[in-house]
Amino acid sequence: MFRTRSSSLLLAAALLLTSCGLSGADKEAAQSLAASLRQEYTGISADQARCVAEHWVTEIGVPELKKAKLIGGNNTVTGDVRDVELSEAQAKEALAGFEHCTDFRMLAAGMVSSLLDADDEQAACIDKAVTDDVARSWAISDLQGKVTDNVYVVGGRGCMSTDEENRRAVDALASSFGRANGLGAQEGRCVAEGLVETIGTHELTAAGVLDDRQRLTGELQGTPLNATDAELAANVVAGCVTVEEMLTASMVGGGNKGAGPQVKACFADAFDDATFHAYLVDTLMGGQGNLDAQTTRQLADCLKQVVEKD
């Protein structure tokens, strides 16, 4: 469980115990870390930030924090503390620092409400949605540089949109996929419902996919998503549509007579699951797919079959 008592006496004791042995490089690093934590973690107090920073320096160590490119050669934070990429064990130790020095679940929920500009009712919903497990999963992933298990998505999708707004969003997205991507109604509906359930109407609006009345502003792949949203969207798409169905619909057209079983099998052979996922993520972030030379050649051969059949 997270620490629930946060009296000034207990916190002062923790600070004394952790800071008494810090000097030189460790002290410089801890001071810089504390300042950075204050900037990046909304709602953390100066004493709490110093306590967390000194825990990191003491338990993880400046040399390891330098290897993770969080601390530079001058013993100061080199960039955004939220961009750090610790090992899993180090991330868990860093989380232990947060839990030792703060009520981390409350801190995380407050950060979400602040960033999303939630009103009182939405903030109360977020406070319930951001459970201990949600906060821990996010912190451990975030401190390793991973983009999934995002606490902001959890709060946004569950608390920042009404049921009616979600329904309109699903209808708009499903209609678009069938019209623009050539997917069948069932596949298009599956993707639309998955996006709203996984990413949320509020975040899709913030990303520019939908307007504030849940009308489509453009195609999903025409609106660059951030890394977190792109990963989640790629997982949704892959769960609803096979690689051959997706490529046949987008590159050939669902009704094209060249889209027979042989062509679909060719597409399936050209992309394994990992390549398809990477392709989706890159295109959803506004890229061109970044296919390697071998996959590009295989894809060209598949499209050649379509031309020959036409």
* 107 — pLDDT class (breaks 50, 70, 90): very high
Nearest CA-CA partner of 198 in 242, 136, 148, 246: 148
- Residue 214 has a CB neighbour count (10 Å cut-off) of 21
| Stretch 199-223: mean pLDDT | 86
Task: Say whether pLDDT at 305 is over 50.
Answer: yes
Give the model's confidence band at 45: pLDDT under 50 very low, under 70 low, under 90 confident, else very high: very high
Mean pLDDT of 300-310: 68
Q: Which of 68-77, 141-150, 192-201, 231-240 holds the top average pLDDT?
A: 192-201
Model confidence at 106: pLDDT above 90: yes
Question: How far does CA 48 lie from the centroid of its chain?
Answer: 26
What is the rounded distance in angstroms from the CA atom of residue 30 to the CA atom of residue 62? 9
Contacts 24+ apart (CB under 8 A), 120-127: 122/159, 122/160, 125/155, 125/158, 125/159, 126/155, 126/158, 126/159
Q: What is the DSSP letter of 251?
A: I
Helix (H) or strand (E) holding 202: helix 201-206
pTM, rounded to two decimals: 0.76
* Cα angle: 191, vertex 195, 201; to 5 degrees: 135
Average pLDDT over residues 171-196: 83
Question: How many DSSP H helices and E strands does the chain contain?
Answer: 17, 0
Q: For residue 276, which amino acid is it?
A: F
Question: Does residue 10 have a pLDDT over 50?
Answer: no
Burial group, residue 171, by CB count within 10 angstroms (0-12, 13-18, 19+) = middle
Give me the pLDDT at residue 29, please. Answer: 94
* Greatest mean pLDDT among 148-157, 158-167, 213-222: 158-167
* Nearest Cα to Cα of residue 220 among 269, 257, 173, 279: 173
Q: Where are the domains of the chain?
A: 19-102, 163-309
- Quick check: 241 pLDDT over 70? yes
* pLDDT at position 243 over 80: no
Q: Does 3 score more than 50 pLDDT?
A: no
What is the Cα–Cα distance from 191 to 177, expressed in whole angstroms? 8
Nearest by Cα to 226 from 276, 279, 281: 281
Contact 124, 109 (CB under 8 A): no
Q: What is the distance between the alpha carbons of residues 169 and 200, in angstroms, rounded to a whole number?
A: 9
The dihedral through the CA atoms of 18, 31, 79, 76 has a sign that is negative
Structure tokens at 148: 């999934």
